[in-house]
Amino acid sequence: GQNIDQPTEMTATEGAIVQINCTYQTSGFNGLFWYQQHAGEAPTFLSYNVLDGLEEKGRFSSFLSRSKGYSYLLLKELQMKDSASYLCAVRAASTGFQKLVFGTGTRLLVSP
Amino acid sequence: KAGVTQTPRYLIKTRGQQVTLSCSPISGHRSVSWYQQTPGQGLQFLFEYFSETQRNKGNFPGRFSGRQFSNSRSEMNVSTLELGDSALYLCASSLVAEYNSPLHFGNGTRLTVT
């Protein structure tokens, strides 16, 4: 089966750093995506990892360990606008190109 | 470049009716997929289309169907609506030529079944 786990909710303070974890169990692996979704809006792409290691993109970084089935999204210098849901999604090797398995999302609340 | 466009944004239907949702992908994107998003289940894959052919289908009943046209636009249809079909339906498109190409989502159609 396919299973993606991430915390339901997290809180953090403006200017701080937060790490959102994601563990996965899938039949094969062809990449892991992180998306951000504000309430009532479309999910927007943040990062993609297919090899082990850290990918950095501005204030956002994503890490992958394929052997552990583990990823995290690191958000630095948090801003109020970072309050959103963060979705972890895996493309399993046996599935189609656009078929991603999503976690239920982590709702992040950034307070002043 | 315009994003993925979905119409309508909101729909209210009653049980037993059918509904058709429309999606226009980003210009040049030939691969389109549909997802259902509910608070309890998150995003669940419905179908994937490329060049008017369904390449993959999720675990949904046969009441859910879709198609893709020659201009890459796509529609999905849900027949004999049930209360549990109330959800946000998201369409996504991507460039097939790049394997790490992310899915670009539209704002979705919010379907409420009463």
Per-residue pLDDT reduced to its tens digit, B77-95: 999 999 999 999 999 999 8
Q: Inform me whether the pLDDT recorded for B71 exceeds 80.
A: yes
Nearest chain B residue to A49, by CA? B100
The answer on pLDDT for A78 being more than 60 is yes
Chain-centre distance of CA A65, in angstroms? 13
**Nearest-CB residue to B42 (from A95, A96, A103):** A103
Q: B75 or A1, which is more confident?
A: B75
A97 or B22, which is more confident: B22
Q: Which of residues 65-94 of B touch A (CB under 8 A)?
A: 90, 92, 94
Residue A17 pLDDT exceeds 70: yes
Residue whose C-alpha is closest to residue A106's, from B42, B49, B36, B74: B42
- pLDDT given at position A55: 94
The pLDDT of residue B97 is above 70: no
- Per-residue pLDDT band at B40 (split at 50, 70, 90): confident
The mean per-residue pLDDT over the stretch B27-34 comes to: 93
**Is residue A12's pLDDT more than 70?**
yes
Smallest CA-to-CA distance from B7 within B95, B113, B112, B110 is with: B110
* B72 contacts on A by Cβ (under 8 Å): none
pLDDT mean over B70-80: 97
Average pLDDT, chain B: 93
Is residue B2 a contact partner of residue B26, using CB atoms and an 8 Å limit? yes
CB contact under 8 A, B48 and A98: yes
Both structure tokens of B60: 């949904």
| pLDDT of amino acid A97 | 73
Rounded Cα gap, residues A32 and A92, in angstroms: 9
Chain B nearest-CA distance from A77, in A, is: 25
Q: What is the pLDDT of residue B15?
A: 98
Over residues A17-31, the mean pLDDT reads 93
Average pLDDT over residues A61-70: 97
Map residue B62 onto helix, strand or coil.
coil
